[in-house]
Amino acid sequence: MLQSELLKTTNGFINGRWCGADSNKTMPVVNPATGDTIAIVPVMGRTETELAIESAAAALATPSTIDERRRWLSQLADLITEHREELGRIITHEHGKPWKEAQGEADYAASFFRYYSTVVDHLKPRQLADRPRGHQWTVYSRPAGVVALVTPWNFPLAMLAKKFSAALAADCSSVVKPSSKTPLSMVALFSLMEQIELPPGKANLILGPAGEISDVLCAHPAVRVISFTGSTPVGKKLMAAAAPHLKRLSLELGGNAPFIVFDDADLEQAVDHAMSNKFRGSGQTCVCANRLYVQSGIADAFATRLAERATALRVGDGMQEGTEMGPLIDQNAFNKVRSHVDDAINQGATRIAGSETQIASRNAGWFHPPTVLRGVTANMLCVRDETFGPVAPIIEFASEQEVIDAANATEYGLAAYVFTADDQRAERVISRLQFGHVGHNTGSGPTAEAPFGGMKQSGFGREGGLEGLHDFIETQTVPRP
């Protein structure tokens, strides 16, 4: 079992108190690098979710001041930073990513609390400068109410930090439901949160698989917003379940990111960014390159260099010194990645990197070698679907128009990347790409200070930046004579 000063309990948290499940049902949390059970957590359901929503609703009766919220947010940023190594260790044990990378996730989580602590003043009432209709007009940003925050396993801490920091800034009360694969990072965050003395009910943690929990979150009249990060099929189910109750939704869903490299790009820069963008989190990030479109003149050089670099990556247990890439989250993830590689090879692609001998750990983990494929075509699964694994399929293209059409030929619209030395071309291409986040000569993902979110079936709503507050506020306008 994983011992940690931040995991003195592995229970949920409702109305200011740690609690288990009424049913006494439990489930294991498994380390994907070893297959070991590292903790046992409660399986909560209807009763606990209703209790959490009711305590969250009761907490709304006592609004907090902007100063209190600023203090809570900055205290949380400090606490996460102070405990970054331990939080990172917990993330690595339940997710598998290398410890250094996991500490980076803790820093990223802290940056959202820090950022919203610095902009919470934007939520102060605003008075119009003139007096339309002979009245004085005040615009208030009221908390939207009880918000349900449902998150995936691929960034067990950061995906919640994005939502929770904005919800807290807006003075909402939260019911948090992390992925049942990675609940421990959230338990650790709530144990840190005890130190900032939030009012009871302001933040509640429900543990267990979706099912009953999400049924209650979607149907309970007190829940006003459902902020969800996860797959597109689950996002659609939530939208359908929430529709009869007209709940507001923010959906951060799946991606199928094109990574476009033109002939005039800086080769080393493009390869460097492809490596960090593609293989971070073992390729299990929503923003990672899913399809690499490389112009014919640079394709051989790019493919050779990328294959060399991918082959040199050290794959193993994230807690082992020197590990650069960890395992996949579970057997289903492994099977999906393997099926995408097999499908590409059966349809004529060539594997130029991706040998099993590259894997340092020889234990029960779900390790997949960093794989590079050439001769990939549009009909292959790895181009059509989100692979969510360490596979880099290279597709050659000839013209600008051809690559824009190919990149947009997907139902997804989350992230894209364009590498070219020609700024005018970059401007032209970016303006025509239907993606919410487009890196120019960078594979960088989002930052706390700027809005991030998807187009098309990658969802709607934005996280980060001032826009990230919008999902959690109700605007109320008051004219006075």
Catalytic residues: 252, 286
SS3 417: strand
Among 7, 53, 73, 159, contact with ligand NAP (rule: CB under 6 A)? 159
Report the C-alpha gap between 288 and 117 in whole angstroms.
29
Per-position x/- string for 362-391, each x denoting binding to ligand NAP as judged by CB under 6 A, each - no binding = ------------------------x-x---
Per-position x/- string for 219-238, each x denoting binding to ligand NAP as judged by CB under 6 A, each - no binding = ----------xxx--x--xx
Tokens (6 digits) for 475: 């605007």
In the complex with ligand NAP, the residue whose CB is nearer, 73 or 251, is: 251
Counting Cα atoms < 13 Å in the Cβ hemisphere of 294 gives: 26
Q: How far is the CB of 460 from ligand NAP (least distance, A)?
A: 10
Alpha carbon 443 to its chain centroid, in Å, reads 16
Q: How far is the CB of 454 from ligand NAP (least distance, A)?
A: 6
Q: Which stretch binds ligand NAP (CB under 6 A): 32-40, 91-99, 176-184, 307-315?
A: 176-184
Among 454, 461, 464, 468, contact with ligand NAP (rule: CB under 6 A)? 454
Q: State whether the Cα torsion 376-377-378-384 is positive or negative.
A: negative
SS3 396: strand
Among 12, 98, 152, 393, contact with ligand NAP (rule: CB under 6 A)? 152
- Please give the residues from 274 up to 303 whose contact with ligand NAP meets the rule CB under 6 A: 286
In the complex with ligand NAP, the residue whose CB is nearer, 69 or 280, is: 280
In the complex with ligand NAP, the residue whose CB is nearer, 152 or 316, is: 152
Report the C-alpha gap between 270 and 121 in whole angstroms.
40
In the complex with ligand NAP, the residue whose CB is nearer, 52 or 79, is: 52
Residue with tokens 């980060």: 464
DSSP 196: G
Tell me the Ramachandran region of residue 479: left when phi exceeds 0, alpha when psi lies from -120 to 50, beta otherwise.
beta
Per-position x/- string for 239-278, each x denoting binding to ligand NAP as judged by CB under 6 A, each - no binding = -------------xxxx-----------------------
Q: How far is the CB of 368 from ligand NAP (least distance, A)?
A: 16
CB-CB neighbours of 343 under 10 Å: 16
Asked if 35 is part of the footprint of ligand NAP (rule: CB under 6 A), the reply reads: no
Asked if 328 is part of the footprint of ligand NAP (rule: CB under 6 A), the reply reads: no
DSSP 459: E
CB of 39 closer than 8 Å to CB of 10: yes
Containing H/E element for 127?
A: strand 126-127
Helix count and strand count (H, E) for the chain: 15, 22
Residue nearest to ligand NAP (CB): 230
Q: State whether the Cα torsion 150-153-156-161 is positive or negative.
A: negative
DSSP 446: -
Asked if 309 is part of the footprint of ligand NAP (rule: CB under 6 A), the reply reads: no
- How many residues touch ligand NAP under the rule CB under 6 A: the total is 28
Asked if 358 is part of the footprint of ligand NAP (rule: CB under 6 A), the reply reads: no
Alpha carbon 245 to its chain centroid, in Å, reads 26
Q: How far is the CB of 150 from ligand NAP (least distance, A)?
A: 5
Positions in the binding site for ligand NAP (CB under 6 A): 150-154, 159, 177, 179-180, 209-210, 214, 229-231, 234, 237-238, 252-255, 286, 386, 388, 414, 454, 458
